[in-house]
Amino acid sequence: MTLPLLLFVLIHLCGLLACHGFKICAFNVQSFGDSKAADGKILHTLTQIVSRCDVCLLQEVRDNKKKAIPKLLNSLNNFDSNHQYDHVSSGRLGRSQTYQEQYVFVFRRDSVRLKDQYQYPDTQKGDEDAFAREPFVVRFQAPKTVIGEFVLVPVHTTPTNATKEIDELYDVFEDVRQRWRTEDMMFLGDFNAACGYVAKKNRKNIRLYTMSSFAWLIEDKQDTTVRETTDCAYDRIVVHGDTFLRAVVPFSAQPFNFAKEYHLTEEEALKVSDHYPIEVDLKTKSGSERGCAHSNLLPFTFGLVLRLQMSAD
Q: Which of 60, 101, 168, 279 is catalytic?
A: 101
Of the pLDDT bands very low, low, confident and very high (cuts 50, 70, 90), residue 227 is: very high
Q: What is the CATH number of the domain that holds 285?
A: 3.60.10.10
Q: Do the beta carbons of residue 1 and residue 306 sit within 8 Å?
A: no
User: How does pLDDT run across 252-283, given as a tens digit for each residue?
Assistant: 999 999 999 999 999 999 999 999 999 999 99
Count: domains in the chain: 2
Cβ neighbours, 10 Å, residue 272: 26
Tell me: do 247 and 313 sit in the same domain.
Answer: no
The catalytic position among 60, 134, 156, 279 is: 156
Mark whether 101 is an active-site residue. yes
Task: Give the DSSP letter string of 207-260.
Answer: HHHHSTTEEE-S-TT---BS-TT-----EEEEEESHHHHHTBPTT--EE--HHH
More confident residue, 125 or 5: 125
Same domain, 155 and 10: no
Please say if 156 is a catalytic residue: yes
Answer yes or no: do 84 and 207 share one domain. yes
pTM as predicted:
0.85
User: pLDDT for 137-176, tens place per residue?
Assistant: 999 999 999 999 999 999 999 999 999 999 999 999 999 9
Verify that 311 and 213 share a domain, yes or no.
no
Q: Which domain holds residue 301?
A: 1-19+295-313
8 and 143 in a single domain? The answer is: no
Asked whether residue 192 falls in the same domain as residue 80, the answer is: yes
Contact at 8 Å (CB) between 72 and 50? yes
Do 268 and 304 sit in the same domain of this protein? no
User: Quick one: 57 and 136 in the same domain?
Assistant: yes
Question: Which residues, in sequence order, are CB contacts of 300 under 8 Å at separation 6+?
Answer: none
Q: Are residues 113 and 257 in the same domain?
A: yes
Do 186 and 71 belong to one domain? yes
Indicate if 14 and 65 belong to the same structural domain. no
Q: At 7, is the pLDDT very low, low, confident or very high (cuts 50, 70, 90)?
A: very low
pLDDT-above-70 percentage for the chain = 84
Please tell me which residue, 184 or 289, carries the higher pLDDT value: 184
When the pLDDT of each residue in the chain is averaged and rounded to a whole number, the result is 88
| Angle (deg, nearest 10), helices 40-50 and 68-79 | 60
Domain check: are 7 and 148 in the same one? no
Task: Specify whether the CB–CB gap between 109 and 85 falls below 8 A.
Answer: yes
